[in-house]
Amino acid sequence: MRLDIVTIFPEYLEPLNVSLVGKARARGRLDVRVHDLRQWTHDRHNTVDDTPYGGGPGMVMKPEPWGEALDAVIASGDPGGDGDGPVIVVPTPSGSPFTQETAVELAAEPWLVFTPARYEGIDRRVVEEYGERFRVRELSIGDYVLAGGEAPVLVMVEAVARLLPGVLGNAESHRDDSFAPGAMADLLEGPVYTKPPVWRGRDIPEVLLSGHHGRIARWRRDQAFRRTARYRPDLLERCDPAALDAEDRKLLAELGWAERPDGRFGPTAQDVEE
Ligand code: 6GU
């Protein structure tokens, strides 16, 4: 997979040389190219921003450097060999949510171009212009505001890269990920343990030492339900009741959850006054 990142802070992307993504690059699984947006400016001060039309605080990134940058990057290759061009990922707090599903979709692409912005964002005409010829995804990594899109690019690249074949050591490693589509979808992962068996007087849940795979799987599922009910009740409320077995239902009842008239599960309103 090829990734191009156009930024005014190339050094912000240095972490892409480290750890999982760094190794994937070294092994040739990932071709990452970071470009300095200012190389596509032509004035003495390498200006990339200007004041917003209509007034208001902050500055807006000018369209011309982005246009030249994207034209140059897009003209420089066709790693998919299909002439489709890249998917252009525009990180913005006003984008649609970047989720595990988004990561899976992007991981299937041969070529992604990221356009992390600073200031109040990029002149709208850039997304309009490239949206007519390419697939553009405006994506947000969560409901908070960052000073720029570089940290979101690090987040998105890591989430995508670990899904590529041959990048994680163990191909099974993402099967049980929280948010991975499939059996444990919509459940958070429960706790994990390793040696030593006793640490500061704390031992390991017995079942994990039992060697009984069925009981271990059941215990892990129960832990996932407990954790999800506590930290992400919204996920549990969305889950398909058909995916719940008798044990799940019993555990949810213990946790104070019950089936609602609409068939979904939710916490019983014990502390709500009638
Ligand atoms: Cl993608 N960019 C910025 N600046 N802030 C964000 C974000 C992106 N996602 C959440 N907050």
Measuring CA to CA, how many Å separate 261 from each of 29, 225, 256? 50, 21, 16
Residue in this structure with the two tokens 């969560």, named with its chain if needed = 142
pLDDT tens-digit map of 154-190: 999 999 999 999 888 766 567 667 776 555 668 999 9
The string over 100-139, giving b where at least 16 C-beta atoms fall within 10 Å of a residue's C-beta and e elsewhere, is: bebbbebbebebbbbbbbbbebbbeebbebbeeeeebbbb
> Does 118 qualify as catalytic in the annotation?
no
* Cis before 205? omega within 30: no
- The model's pLDDT over 108-138, given as tens digits with 9 standing for 90+, comes to 999 999 999 988 999 999 999 999 999 999 9
Percentage of the chain surpassing pLDDT 70?
93
Q: Is the dihedral of CA 167, 170, 175, 176 positive or negative?
A: negative
State the angle between helix axes of 150-161 and 19-26 in degrees (0 to 180), rounded to the nearest 10: 60
Q: Rounded to an integer, what distance in angstroms lies between the CA atom of residue 74 and that of residue 135?
A: 13
The Å distance, Cα 139 to ligand 1 centre, comes to: 8
Question: What is the per-residue pLDDT for 140?
Answer: 98
The answer to whether the CB of 241 falls within 8 A of the CB of 264 is yes
Rounded to whole angstroms, the Cα distance separating 14 from 44 reads: 27
pLDDT at 257 (0 to 100)? 94
Substitution site in 88, 92, 96, 150 for ligand 1 pocket (most atoms within 8 Å of beta carbon): 92
Instruction: Give the pLDDT band (50/70/90) at residue 263.
Output: confident
Tell me what pLDDT residue 186 has: 84
Q: What sign does the dihedral 192-197-198-203 (CA atoms) show? A: positive
Strand partners, 40: none
**To test the ligand 1 pocket, which listed residue (141, 144, 156, 157) has its Cβ within 8 A of the most ligand atoms?**
141
**Active-site residue, from 50, 120, 203, 247:** 120
Q: Using an 8 Å Cβ cutoff, are 9 and 152 in contact?
A: no
Position 162 scores a pLDDT of 97
* DSSP structure class, residue 270: T
Residue 168 CA to its chain's centroid (Å): 16
State the average pLDDT over residues 243-251: 95
3-state secondary structure of 122: strand
- Reported as a single tens digit per residue, the pLDDT across 26-80 is 999 999 999 999 999 999 999 999 999 999 999 999 999 999 999 999 999 889 8
Q: Which member of 52, 63, 93, 241 is catalytic?
A: 93
Percent of the chain with pLDDT over 90: 84
pLDDT at 274: 46
* Pocket lined around ligand 1, Cβ cut-off 6 Å: 91-93, 140-142, 144-146, 148-149, 152
- State residue 160 phi and psi, 5-degree precision: -75, -45
Q: Hunting for tokens 């704390």 — which residue is that?
A: 202
In whole angstroms, give the CA distance from residue 174 to residue 179: 10
